[in-house]
Structure 1
Amino acid sequence: MQKIQNFINGKYVDPMKGQYIDNVEPGTGKVFAQIPNSSQEDLDNAVAAAKDAFPIWSTMSVDKRSRILHKLADLIEDHLDDLALMESRDNGKPLWLAKAVDIPRASSNFRFYASAIVNFSSEAQVSEGFMVNYTRRAPIGIVGCISPWNLPLYLFSWKIAPALAMGNCVVAKPSELTPMTAHLLGNLANEAGMPAGVLNILHGEGKEIGQAIVEHEATKAISFTGGTATGKVVGATASQQFKKVSLELGGKNPNIVFADCDLEEAVKTSVKSSFTNQGEICLCGSRILIEDAIYEEFKKRFIEETKKLKVGDPMEAGSNMGALVSEEHLIKVDSYVKLAKEEGGAILHGGIRLEKEGFYYEPTIIEGLDENCRTNQEEIFGPVVTLNRFSNEKEAIRVANSTRYGLSCTIWTTNLKRAHRVSHAVQSGIIWVNCWLLRDLRTPFGGMKDSGIGREGGNEALRFFSEPQNVCIKL
């Protein structure tokens, strides 16, 4: 059994207290590795290393930092197979999905910010013959990056890439459920030529070492992706020390299907947006709102396409869905299906745990629920969707906005005016029209309401991981 280590000051080291946590493979339900249960002493060592590295990294030329990050992107591509295998074993997602999406996007994150920093411009205001003001973006110092388990390396790199690009040193914590790809990243950072102490990776439980990273006086900014309840604790803790904080939290995303849509494309993509990655993506459309005129036809086709999905071994190429990340999470998902029945919902497909080793659950479709019931209001984060009717545009917008979340929304219509009108009315940070999960890294990413504060992506991330410094020179 593999026993992984923390990555501090460019070296792999055992946790100071010698404590470890079992890492369970979702596809088999068996322990396949152990990870450090890090303590305050481990964090203090990581912070000390970051403090020593900051003068070197923050003053390094932008071109040199860029070359190191480009090299890291290259190395991720070179090790795609190994990283994808570890991610699949760690998370339970199909191996083909990790190869096609997660690992390539992690490489793209580093490559994007490696290029962005050499094109990031400052501002200047000139008062002719009197003064010149210019604004530079200065690195913050040491920042804490805490990432979730659903897209392990993709979202881990999504945070640390812009932080490193701007000249910060990072103390990062991947989810204790999916530590393996972050663990492998340390060696690649060394091979890319990153100075020791610039990137430090600590493993352990969120409520312990994650909270300690947020509380530590040396971390000047916190970027967190995870559940809304935890995000409230992170935000409250960070605010007490006036730290910058970015919170990308939960979602209960509406997928609005109007009668004038391309029905075939809407059904096909809605199956993907419901069940990709076992529904364990914060952007999944878990509430499908369908106009009355096409409700029955959409439902029929949606069920037919869902029945074609194969839930199976993540290592098998034919598996459309793998295992849920943990038994605890599977029990949570199943409890919501039971709740839906109690709330009067009808299970049209799925709703059962598969009888095999590991944590497998059928894609589940539910109809007949009130828009305000718990199943339609609370984030399930699994392969469970509800079908809901609406009769007109006004009603669709009202139901779409009826939850406390506002992360993303998908709209299906061929009416251009309606597409704009509804997009502007829906309270979501991300709107997709006639598509889902298309991303341009130059655009800001984040939600409204209880889906978080702050924005990641593009120049928004570079601005978050830096502070504006104004310089005024009298002529």
Structure 2
Amino acid sequence: MFIRRAFASKFRTQLLINNQWVNSSTGKTFQTINPATEEVITEVQYGSPADIDTAVNAARAAFDGPWRKYTAVQRANLLYKLADLIGKHKEELAQLESLDNGKPISDAKAADLPMVENVYRYYAGYADKVFGKTIPMNGPFFTYTRLEPKGVAGQIIPWNFPLAMQAWKLAPALAAGCTVVLKPAEQTPLSALRVGELIVEAGFPAGVVNIVPGHGDTGAALAVHPNVDKVAFTGSTEVGLEIMRNSGINGLRRVTLELGGKSPNIILDDADMDMAIAQSQFGLFFNQGQCCIAGSRVFVQEKIYDEFVKLSAQCSTGRKLGNPLDPATTQGPQVDEAQMNKILHYIELGKKEGAKLLSGGKRWGNKGYFVEPTVFADVTDNMSIAKEEIFGPVMSILKFKTIDEVIERANNSIYGLGAGVVTKDLEKSIKIAHSLRTGTVYVNCYDVFTESTPFGGYKQSGVGRELGEDGIMNYLESKTVVVKTSNDTLP
């Protein structure tokens, strides 16, 4: 405990506003908890609506002032420098993420940190490749479009991938020329604040990036602030809907939302069984099941259903739970007590509604917010565990007969974030992929991310896309300029 607290005490716990580290205007703080031990890591300053106002005003002044004078190449160079600093400090960032979030440090090192660094480099390279168009018009007119930054972006990120989500938000906004006020999740503020230190060290001008930790009222104040031009949120569908409903308060603003999911993972009877088991286990249990795109509805064709069910239960029991800072750990704790209790509640609902519990189903240990990897079979579409997002290590296995049937059932959801297909038949995989109403479909793989491919959802899973070209377009406005010329100027 002493080593962990001493490690965390090296880093900032204040608000970053205008490149200054300041205390909350109210003097309030909140605790951030180690989910593996239930111990307090440290106290973090609690940003108030007044602090949000100060941060937004700083971002507005920077946008209207020095940041507008930076060329695309200058912005790119700052992003490259930030990526270099993240790479230089990746070990400590991985430890901080694991300590605050509970994810296995092996996952933080292998997945999260490489993604973070790559995203900053990708958008650094994109900064000077934002082009308008010239458009022919009848008459003596020279017409062209410009892509210009939207302005001040209010960004609210979740607790499941704090560093990655920070990069997904900050990198395209800064490449586009926006300024930012970012609110990290109250469960996991430490890595965001550490990156804030690196942003200052990289040389970003004052006010370009402001970081204000706090709870829901902090985020709500940011989302409706009249000087925020663009809101980007990743989190639950319930909160996303609230942000959308409130988007017209104090003036209209642009909104993108990456929200919940209940993704179908379809295993056809010609699938390689070893691949199917590995793909479905990773697709559900990665990051303790705390993935919006997790393949939590596993549809298995009837011919191989019994074998798949048996092997899934066996495989899930082989996961190593424990200290997330131990490189051998493959499953850490849930992020907090509320999330653990929510998952345990859904497990009880599954049993009550008639699903067959094959493995897990309980809290693990007597300290920390651990939940055993849990597998249910004989799940039907109307059960709560098949309809509602659990956001935890709970797999629901459902049986199906035909491809047309499973397409219809997979689409029968309010969500549409992702899906998976495991098959040796290319034509079947394409038919299913093109028929599913989801933002991403994985064929013979799952949870494969790259900075260049867009990510987002259909239906209640969100509005807009992040990453790739779509990611930077979220932070740009298109302006048309029409110039009257003399009749003989243009051919």
- Distance of 1:355 and 1:442 partners within structure 2: 41
Contact 1:372 1:402 in 2 (8 A): no
- Residue 20 (structure 2) pairs with residue 11 (structure 1): yes
Of residues 286, 289, 301 in structure 2, which corresponds to 1:279? 289
Q: CA deviation at 1:474?
A: 2.4
**d(CA) in 1 for partners of 2:447, 2:383:** 27
2:172 corresponds to 1:162: yes
Query: What is the identity percentage for the equivalent residue pairs of Structure 1 and Structure 2?
Result: 38
**Runs of at least 4 residues of structure 1 off by over 4 A?**
none
1:39 paired residue among 48, 69, 86:
48
Amino acid at match of 2:227: A
1:472 alignment partner, SS class: strand
Q: Show the counterpart of 2:480.
A: 470
User: Superposition pairs for residues 319-334 of structure 1, below 5 Å?
Assistant: 319-334=329-344
User: Cα deviation per residue 1:414-453 (whole Å; 9 max; x = unaligned)?
Assistant: 2111111111111111111111122232222110111111
Contact 1:67 1:114 in 2 (8 A): yes
Aligned to 1:94: 104
5 Å-filtered alignment, 1:176-195, equals 176-195=186-205
d(CA) in 2 for partners of 1:460, 1:32 = 37
- Give yes or no for contact 1:22–1:34 (8 Å, CA) kept in 2: yes
1:399-438 matched pairs, under 5 angstroms: 399-438=409-448
* Matched residue, 2:36: 27
1:113 aligns with 2:127: no
Letter of the 1:417 counterpart: E
TM-align CA RMSD:
1.3
Q: Between Structure 1 and Structure 2, how many residues are aligned?
A: 474
**AA in 2 matched with 1:411:** V
Q: Counterpart of 1:210 in structure 2: which amino acid? A: G
Aligned equivalent of 1:384: 394
Name the amino acid aligned to 1:362. Answer: E
- Counterpart pick for 2:71 among 55, 61, 66: 61
State the one-letter code of the partner of 1:205.
Answer: H
- Counterpart of 1:258 in structure 2 is 268
Preserved contact between residue 58 and residue 139 of structure 1 (Cα < 8 Å)? no
| Pairing 1:306–2:322 present | no
Q: TM-score, normalised by structure 1?
A: 0.97
Residue type of the alignment partner of 1:339:
L
1:460 Cα deviation from its structure 2 partner: 1.2
Deviation track 1:92-131 (CA, whole Å, cap 9, x = no partner) reads 0101111111122111111111001222222111359832
Quote the Cα distance in structure 2 between the aligned partners of 1:408 and 1:121: 31
Give the counterpart of 1:268 among 275, 278, 303.
Answer: 278
Q: Distance in 2 between matches of 1:162 and 1:33?
A: 31
SS in 2 for 1:155: helix
The one-letter code sitting in structure 2 at the alignment partner of 1:280 is Q
Task: State the match for 2:298 in structure 1.
Answer: 288
Alpha carbons 2:309, 2:377 under 8 Å: kept: no
Q: Which runs of 5+ in 2 are unaligned?
A: 486-491
Q: Over residues 399-427 of structure 1, what are the superposed CA-to-partner deviations in whole Å (9 max), with x where a residue is unaligned? A: 21121110000011121111111111111
Shift of 1:262: 2.0
Q: Could you tell me how far apart the structure 1 residues matched to 2:474 and 2:69 are?
A: 19
Aligned partners of 2:131 and 2:147 also within 8 Å: no
Q: Which amino acid aligns with 2:223?
A: V
Q: Deviations over 1:270-302 (max 9, x none)?
A: 111110110001111001000001111112222
